[in-house]
Amino acid sequence: MHRIIVITASLAGLDYVTRMKRRRPDSEVNLIIPAALKEFQAHYLANKDTAAQGPAAKRLAAALPDMDALRARDVGVLEALNITPDLKEREVNLRSSQGSISIRYSELVIEISATVRIPRALQAARNIFGWPLPGFAAHPHDCDKALAQAAAEQRPVIIIGNGPSALDAVFLAREAGAQAHWLYTGEQDSPPINPHMLQLIRKRLGPDLRFTPLPNTLPERLTCKLNSEGSLLEHIVLPDGTALQSPCCLWTSPLMAKHPLLREEGILLDNHGCMRLEDPSSSQGLHIMGSGVNVPTGRLPVSGLKAPFYAGGDEHAWISAILTGAATGNISPDTDLGSMAIRTASTPGLHFYRAGYGIADAQNRDLDLESAITALPDPDDASGKGLLILELVCERQSHSLIGVQVLGVDISKTAAEGLFGVALAALSADADLTTLSARPRIGLPGRLLGMGASILLNKLQTLIKGISPDELLASQDAGSNFFMLDLRPAADWKAGHLPGAHNIPMPQLKKRLQAEVPHFVPLVLLSTSGSDAFVAACKLAALGATDLYVLDGGMNLWPYELEATS
């Protein structure tokens, strides 16, 4: 009998088990989970209708497995207090409340989750928590108590980091009824959030969030003051000398991967703290998977550029489909997996998803990337406030898609998740921009994907350049002489426009162009989503115009005050 043993404690690992059993029904599949998972499950279910369950416990509870469903699929479920693998003898020794047993295996799959590396001097502080919490043994109720104390004392929760995990920690504090003070540190190993999206998130959260950028500060270099016993964080000293006090601190980076079961030779760590097998062909049936594993990455067809796989983030079910093939040997190191580094953060009214490269990654690697961001309102939102926003990142030489980010603002999670699913499918297929722009644009996700691909092609094939809101304001402050041409309908322009912008609605552009638009002056074209502006820019470029700029994301993503005209 071919026996597969899987050691895991996450939703992605459990999803992996069901996929494995479905694909290999003749194999015996045994799932080993930590006893702490069952203890947490029992405690949560007994108290789920009480106020004792805070947002940290609820997040872990969302990943609780359905043991009955697993057993119905003929998966053996074992709960262990202690597990010791013997790779040489190909067996697992485990101790449970019923005693000790040894199980021989044909294949052993161990999930490795990335955890946050809190500085050694701070690890004894009971009010500092790595986020995401390291599994079901992490006592989420302690974190919830600290969050509740911050809310009761009306003091902000301190969040340290700059990636989606930090954003999720901000959402966690908000759901606990506390304000958040986000120290946006400058570490390089965490994938940052698109600046447009970050500005919108900050604007949407308003007074619930204080934001302090520390671009030149690594998390471990922050000055932290503990009490005399070293058991509690008293305050963090900011570069300007301000002492920031809080009863709760959520530390989200840098990340590391460790697992108490693996202390064998041949297990290596890369510079992200991700584990990898030195020689997978001689691993004696051992496979490792999860957010702390350096999965073999694909290469783009023209440039040979390696796609990234970051440690950390949520163990999301989407990722297990990719990891399953790598862990079982069905995907070779030369197979193109796409840029499948998935990160998520979600709270009512705001839903963020990211996979693969962001444009900021080019600053730390020798990459030649281009990006486009666009946004459309939700047609089902009667208030008109809901926005669905998509960023696409491509490699210039190959025109291959290598990164996506999605943000839903005042829109349903289903809608944001649906767009991310469509973009993720294009990313995993290594789709090129020409194909994406030519696809039928069915529904809002299809329209956004096609629009983003078309804008990227226009950027790559012409001299049209994108300009962000901050770049536009900085250029104006520096004395640049732009002519800003707003192509929206007159009613939209009157309701709110950039100071100094000239309005010619798109249908009237051909008639009024020669008389109203100056020659030999850089043009900044503005439209609702950016799409019309790129169409107009292409027409102007064909007529010989140069120095053409399009506002990234259009007026949908302008984060600052506008001027109204009666």
Q: Which of 118-132, 203-217, 276-290, 530-544 has the lowest mean pLDDT?
A: 276-290
Q: How many CB atoms lie within 10 A of CB 370?
A: 19
- Pairwise CA distance, residues 557 & 208, whole Å: 21
pLDDT at 505: 93
- Pairwise CA distance, residues 287 & 274, whole Å: 14
pLDDT at 52: 59
Residue 293 contacts residue 210 (beta carbons within 8 Å): no
Residue 99 pLDDT level (bands cut at 50, 70, 90)? confident
Indicate the average pLDDT of the chain. 78
Residue 392 contacts residue 530 (beta carbons within 8 Å): no
Residue 283 DSSP code: S
pLDDT tens digits for range 167-177 = 999 999 999 99
Q: Which of 140-154, 274-288, 381-395, 440-454 has the lowest mean pLDDT?
A: 274-288
Residue 143 contacts residue 56 (beta carbons within 8 Å): yes
Closest by CA position to 347, among listed 45, 58, 52: 58
Amino acid found at 335: T
Judge whether residue 305 has pLDDT over 50. no
Give the torsion sign (CA, 437, 441, 444, 447): positive
Query: Angle at Cα 385 formed by Cα 381 and Cα 391, nearest 5°?
Result: 100
Strand partners, 83: 94
Judge whether residue 44 has pLDDT over 80. no
List the structure tokens of 185: 């540190």
Task: Please provide residue 357's backbone torsions phi and psi, each rounded to the nearest 5 degrees.
Answer: -80, 145
What is the reported pTM?
A: 0.81
According to DSSP H, which parts of 217-265 are helical? Answer: none
Q: How many CB atoms lie within 10 A of CB 212?
A: 16
Judge whether residue 265 has pLDDT over 60. no
Judge whether residue 38 has pLDDT over 80. no
Judge whether residue 422 has pLDDT over 70. yes
The H or E element that residue 319 is part of is helix 317-327
Q: How many CB atoms lie within 10 A of CB 91?
A: 15
Which span out of 232-246, 315-329, 530-544 was modeled with the highest average pLDDT? 232-246
pLDDT at 258: 61
pLDDT tens digits for range 447-506 = 889 888 988 888 887 778 888 888 899 888 888 888 999 999 999 999 999 999 999 999
pLDDT at 306: 40
Judge whether residue 22 has pLDDT over 70. yes
Q: Which of 126-135, 250-259, 281-290, 497-506 has the lowest mean pLDDT?
A: 281-290
